[in-house]
Structure 1
């Protein structure tokens, strides 16, 4: 579990000592092995690997010796032999009055007493203390190895609450479920193993206090682990002089990470109650947990979320947007599985093995005999709620949106290829002008696009037909001088007859409109309530057949009778985007909510507010490369001027740690590149922050740069004395304004030398 590998050699010892399996020590030893050495060489018992084995073997021997010294093979006699009990002399008096018992008060007192006892037994037991210590070591290793020179360039990060919670949540399910699995058996079988079940069962304490005290003790295990993790994380933040603790994010962890664990606790509790042996119950619960993992069920063809027991939607959290639209599906499934968990708890309570009630068959017989109409009503109510929850989720997945299983997606790809592969043309249609209106509604989860584009045929062939494939469903599409031959809504395909035919070098106009709106359980990483970052390639229709929709797996293609794919020269995505596509005249009016700033490539020629919306008009003064993205967020802003160029920095208000450095490095890069490579073609340079879930460091567009939050703004320069990653990434993206912007090589092998190599 301590597989987080610290990148700095001097930090390897911490991971090596913390890993009882020796994985981290082995990784340290084989870090610089060549592929040939990895295939032939065996790990040597030396260095950190030897230290790791000696440390854990010594610790194991110490525990074994301690256990042997403390264990006794002789039963203890609690009372001396021959002791007698002397009865009190004198007359006895019959007491006629009977005490008044307040049942509810007595049950509450019994519950408090049993719960406090069980909690003390848990907290001060050796297994729990050892696992808690191991848990803290793992969490500390994860945190330390990431925030302290844990990046690809040995860069450090500020210990933000979002980052630390993410690091805690990684190993949490494994530790929590292991402890729950173990202590469920201990709590349920402890009285029977100590031969105390008869005495406990004969006490006047009713079943509810006994059951709920032990059930809540089990539910408290993940809470205790999270509390310890929060305590450690806050301590790290204090040690690193970081004061933005964000308690709401810590509290959210107890819900978003704790709720799935609570549900699994109900399953483990029921399985253990049904089994006649403790270790059999543990084994079956563990096997059940493994068998219901999404990866296992997926192999069986059970991909639907409703068929994956305890499956919760993935969550994405960023400082800019919080959980965003990913929290709504989670709430829905939390209610859904909570209802089923309540059924499991109800059955566990009814089958609670009190005293010597015998086998499961006996308990079932007693349950039928003691069954009350209220139990039927409760179980029926829970069943009805669970059915309604199923129908509600089904509606969100299948009615509001179109659910596709992996098999459905493969069928779609196969059908698209078989039907339209013959229309894959080798023409080169590139835009020369784009004029669009973009309306963003981040709080409503929708956006509208109205675009008019001019396209030029840059190939040597005459084009008589035009095949268009949608990326998103289009509300309207019109091609100048063309007649619609076919409209296929299933595949989002449009086929036009060009009249007259488009000659080499010829141009035509087309315009389209679309509305994308989040429905059901859909989520978007692009359109966020705060921090929207929309790429043109996400919605702009493709003026050709889309090879990216083909099945890529050779085995699957062979199974379906599809021809092998023709291998093409692999080119980086970044190079594809910056390849020679010509230049365009760009004009865009982008609107958003009034309290946000909208950004697009081009010079800002107008800005106004109308009907509670903010409008921004951008236009390119000279033709630019058609690499276009659009931003909208509640930005803080810092401006300066460098040789007549307006340098504008847009960032999340709490991410201002490196703004002065970014501004200084961008200014230096602008001055150097202008002096060395030629004039900067724009009157502005904008650098805007985007949320951390984007999988790249930055993207350069004409006059505009997007930078990912945790790749630049949250880099902690206080603990990166040998390498300034903020300077490296800022200067690199500014240099792309020349290498990839002013100069765009052809999309051929070696293009990366011009675009990426010379920009470093």
Structure 2
């Protein structure tokens, strides 16, 4: 039965056509936006079910079961409406619905007869059973919670355990774990030992451990002793184990990942029939209080009676938390397990592939595991084994990925120091995850639809594949070597610096013109996000969770610093931050850049990262006059301004002016680029050119943050009125 038939049934049941139309509109809204208006349970939204992403790996069996179960339930509901609507439709003069129901109920026994009544009772019984089973699967088996219940849980967690935030806690230093994947059942069992050490200067009298509440907890001990007390609601476990400074302890655990019930979003997709992607954040217990569980939204905190969150982040540990990994992974026959570290051993036992991965040096304490029917592609490059694990039908882009990865190792290694691992792996994971790629130490998880299936044949498009590979490889330095302290500005040090690494690799592969197009896209991303953002914009070095800032604006700023300081000077300053003995902060970054910058450039470093400074750049007029020697005098009238919060700032900088033989907005490369010193207001630049330009552009390589670049290009020989800048 179609949605149209349901709407017809509503019209039959509702006596007034306009009320029926409103009921149909309400049904349509509930189907599309039901969760946002409080209809969160899948049985309250007609024909709602999980979206099954198109994937060569095949859909999640749990998502398919949820889809089939929910669609069967709604088919029964629709069938009941199809039967009831004609019987209850008004005939002749107006009859209230209640009167029609009473009348039809009296008439049906005689009309149906004994056999018909039995069949009707059987159908009604089947409908009740189906509804009850669906209710059980979607509510009890799936542990359904409304958004309000989840907020209440977070608030209660904070009230109960926020006192532990900032208290001394042991740090993990080594993990040895066995991960048994059972993709055919969408289950996994993880058993391991996490060795922790008290690095604090004071004793620790109680060790708190958090286990995710959606895991099956089989065992949890600290040095062989069970928790003194456990709070199952929050997954908090307290061990009465005193640790003096420098003492170590072994946290042994056994947990299970299970798929339960039906859900409208398809449920957990970590372990699937083909294309498993399981992360440490999903299965490894964490030591201490988790501030990530807290309610973040200030309005919700006020409503729930929680105090405002402190603006000052907790004092970070001076030494970054790192640990060694020793992972043994087993999976289904025909599949290949992939994880970070050296592949020490691989074997088959009871028909199941096994592999052991070990990291010699400590790494950031996050990792991912992938498993699928992969085809392995590999190259040896300067002592590093670069591997791509791809679906057998997705090999078209693998050579480009390998080339981008090896180029990234060369370019970024020369800039910031040697790549820290003997192996770099890229593993394809199914479409549907909320990222294009994610970098773990030595391993990059890359979604099929945003890399392996990307069409690179269009020469006018950006090289998205190489760009994404370069960005994730850059995280092996920014995030996994240079590790931030925690707090505002962390994503600037991790994501913005990876954007700069992305630019370096694209520059090496395709030249400055491709970088300019890439940064122009990032500039527009910043402008779009800025227009939609609520509240005041923070400086780039204090950004927390605004992708349009740390991706978009950050890319423009780093390209500007590249032009301001020069690539060698900038890279030397950034390389000084690659320290494994301590964490780095935005202040450390600032000191390193300012120390390398010439005195006249230091103010701009602060303006671009510690203030919110915007530019307004325009070409007002460009004229060309032939010279007797065959060259051309090019006169360019420029307008330039800087603002902060609507307030004008003085401007005295060297900008670039590009000369073109075709409109640069179409992607043409400049014939020549000249440096011009400009001041606030109007500046007329006199340039001698070997060729006659048809167009002139200011800031052709996008090194300044101008959210309205529409006036930056003008044809030569014509004066144009500058548009009014946006406020």
Q: 1:611 aligns with which of 343, 350, 357?
A: 350
Tell me the alpha carbon deviations over residues 639-683 of structure 1, each in whole angstroms, 9 at most, x when there is no partner.
Answer: 221123222111122222211111122222223334443333332
Cα distance between partner residues in 1 of 2:69 and 2:173: 47
1:636, CA displacement in angstroms?
Answer: 1.5
Q: 2:76 aligns with which of 319, 330, 339?
A: 339
Tell me the alpha carbon deviations over residues 138-194 of structure 1, each in whole angstroms, 9 at most, x when there is no partner.
Answer: xxxxxxxxxxxxxxxxxxxxxxxxxxxxxxxxxxxxxxxxxxxxxxxxxxxxxxxxx
Tell me the alpha carbon deviations over residues 60-111 of structure 1, each in whole angstroms, 9 at most, x when there is no partner.
Answer: xxxxxxxxxxxxxxxxxxxxxxxxxxxxxxxxxxxxxxxxxxxxxxxxxxxx
Specify the alignment match of 1:27 in structure 2.
Answer: none
Q: 1:474 aligns with which of 217, 220, 228?
A: 217
Specify the alignment match of 1:33 in structure 2.
Answer: none
Cα distance between partner residues in 2 of 1:410 and 1:674: 45
Specify the alignment match of 2:271 in structure 1.
Answer: 527
Task: Give ranges in structure 2 of 5+ residues lacking alignment.
Answer: 503-727
For residue 408 of structure 1, give the secondary structure of its aligned residue in structure 2.
helix
Cα distance between partner residues in 2 of 1:366 and 1:427: 72
Specify the alignment match of 2:439 in structure 1.
Answer: 700
For residue 519 of structure 1, give the secondary structure of its aligned residue in structure 2.
coil
- Against the structure 1 CA distance between its residues 464 and 297, is the aligned structure 2 distance closer, same or farther, given a 3 Å change threshold? closer
Cα distance between partner residues in 1 of 2:492 and 2:165: 30
1:616, CA displacement in angstroms?
Answer: 0.4
1:335-734 matches, within 5 Å, as: 335-350=72-87, 359-360=94-95, 371-373=111-113, 374-427=115-168, 429-471=170-212, 472-480=215-223, 484-499=227-242, 501-503=243-245, 505-521=246-262, 523-568=267-312, 581-734=320-473
1:375, CA displacement in angstroms?
Answer: 4.7
Tell me the alpha carbon deviations over residues 420-473 of structure 1, each in whole angstroms, 9 at most, x when there is no partner.
Answer: 222334325322111111101111011111111111233333311112221134
- Against the structure 1 CA distance between its residues 729 and 507, is the aligned structure 2 distance closer, same or farther, given a 3 Å change threshold? same
For residue 145 of structure 2, give the secondary structure of its aligned residue in structure 1.
coil
Specify the alignment match of 1:68 in structure 2.
Answer: none
1:283, CA displacement in angstroms?
Answer: 2.1
1:579, CA displacement in angstroms?
Answer: 11
Is contact 2:276–2:371 with CA below 8 Å preserved after alignment? yes
For residue 706 of structure 1, give the secondary structure of its aligned residue in structure 2.
strand
Q: 2:24 aligns with which of 268, 286, 310?
A: 286
1:609, CA displacement in angstroms?
Answer: 0.7
Cα distance between partner residues in 2 of 1:543 and 1:668: 39
Specify the alignment match of 1:266 in structure 2.
Answer: 5
1:381, CA displacement in angstroms?
Answer: 2.6
- Against the structure 1 CA distance between its residues 263 and 368, is the aligned structure 2 distance closer, same or farther, given a 3 Å change threshold? farther
Is contact 2:12–2:86 with CA below 8 Å preserved after alignment? no
Tell whether 2:58 aligns with 1:326. Answer: no
TM-score, normalization by structure 1: 0.59
For residue 640 of structure 1, give the secondary structure of its aligned residue in structure 2.
strand
- Against the structure 1 CA distance between its residues 744 and 404, is the aligned structure 2 distance closer, same or farther, given a 3 Å change threshold? closer
Is contact 2:10–2:24 with CA below 8 Å preserved after alignment? no
- Against the structure 1 CA distance between its residues 579 and 325, is the aligned structure 2 distance closer, same or farther, given a 3 Å change threshold? farther
Cα distance between partner residues in 2 of 1:382 and 1:450: 48
Cα distance between partner residues in 1 of 2:173 and 2:104: 81
- Against the structure 1 CA distance between its residues 717 and 541, is the aligned structure 2 distance closer, same or farther, given a 3 Å change threshold? same
Is contact 1:531–1:690 with CA below 8 Å preserved after alignment? yes
Is contact 2:60–2:272 with CA below 8 Å preserved after alignment? no
TM-score, normalization by structure 2: 0.61
Specify the alignment match of 1:217 in structure 2.
Answer: none
Is 477-486 or 287-296 further displaced after alignment? 287-296
Is contact 1:271–1:284 with CA below 8 Å preserved after alignment? no
Cα distance between partner residues in 2 of 1:570 and 1:338: 54
For residue 184 of structure 2, give the secondary structure of its aligned residue in structure 1.
coil
Tell me the alpha carbon deviations over residues 515-550 of structure 1, each in whole angstroms, 9 at most, x when there is no partner.
Answer: 122122262122121111111011222211222223
Tell me the alpha carbon deviations over residues 571-625 of structure 1, each in whole angstroms, 9 at most, x when there is no partner.
Answer: 9xxxx9x996343222111000111110111111111111121000111133333
1:359, CA displacement in angstroms?
Answer: 4.7
1:304, CA displacement in angstroms?
Answer: 3.1
1:31-180 matches, within 5 Å, as: none
Task: Note the aligned Cα RMSD (angstroms).
Answer: 3.2
Is contact 2:170–2:207 with CA below 8 Å preserved after alignment? no
- Against the structure 1 CA distance between its residues 635 and 741, is the aligned structure 2 distance closer, same or farther, given a 3 Å change threshold? same
Cα distance between partner residues in 1 of 2:83 and 2:487: 66
1:376, CA displacement in angstroms?
Answer: 3.5
Is contact 1:454–1:508 with CA below 8 Å preserved after alignment? yes
For residue 454 of structure 1, give the secondary structure of its aligned residue in structure 2.
strand
Is contact 1:339–1:382 with CA below 8 Å preserved after alignment? no
The structure number with the bigger radius of gyration is 1
Is contact 1:687–1:704 with CA below 8 Å preserved after alignment? yes
Tell me the alpha carbon deviations over residues 352-378 of structure 1, each in whole angstroms, 9 at most, x when there is no partner.
Answer: 78xx85555798868965722255444
Specify the alignment match of 2:694 in structure 1.
Answer: none
- Against the structure 1 CA distance between its residues 633 and 562, is the aligned structure 2 distance closer, same or farther, given a 3 Å change threshold? same
1:291, CA displacement in angstroms?
Answer: 6.8
Is contact 2:208–2:287 with CA below 8 Å preserved after alignment? yes
For residue 717 of structure 1, give the secondary structure of its aligned residue in structure 2.
coil
- Against the structure 1 CA distance between its residues 720 and 388, is the aligned structure 2 distance closer, same or farther, given a 3 Å change threshold? farther
- Against the structure 1 CA distance between its residues 312 and 738, is the aligned structure 2 distance closer, same or farther, given a 3 Å change threshold? closer
For residue 269 of structure 2, give the secondary structure of its aligned residue in structure 1.
coil
Cα distance between partner residues in 1 of 2:9 and 2:491: 59
Cα distance between partner residues in 1 of 2:69 and 2:225: 47
Task: Give ranges in structure 1 of 5+ residues lacking alignment.
Answer: 1-261
- In proportion to residue count, which structure has more helix? 1
For residue 331 of structure 2, give the secondary structure of its aligned residue in structure 1.
strand
